[in-house]
Amino acid sequence: MSRVEIEGMIPQPRSRFLLVSCLSCGNKQVVFDSAKTVVRCAVCREVLAVPRGGKSKVLGKVVAVLT
């Protein structure tokens, strides 16, 4: 099942910070929910999140949501 995202129609009241675990080395890193750039692991340079229409698509494992 796929989830359709309609950009620009759903108001996003605030951004969040996510604690993401790197799939390659297990490093945990805080990733901004609405980052405009590719976020890489500080340890092994694995890509943790990529920008996608104003929101980040997280490629690592989200272990916590920081509000």
CB closer to Zn ion, 17 vs 59: 59
Q: Which residue has the tokens 């604690």?
A: 19
Q: Coil, strand, or helix at residue 55?
A: strand
Taking the complex as a whole, the smallest distance from the CB of residue 49 to Zn ion amounts, in Å, to 12
CB closer to Zn ion, 54 vs 61: 61
Q: How far is residue 65's CA from residue 35's CA, in Å, rounded to a whole number?
A: 15
Q: Indicate the helix (H) or strand (E) that contains 26.
A: none
CB closer to Zn ion, 15 vs 29: 29
Q: Which residue ranges make up the site for Zn ion (CB under 5 A)?
A: 22, 24-25, 27, 41, 43-44, 46
Taking the complex as a whole, the smallest distance from the CB of residue 56 to Zn ion amounts, in Å, to 17
Measured in whole angstroms, how far is the alpha carbon of residue 29 from the centre of its chain? Answer: 10
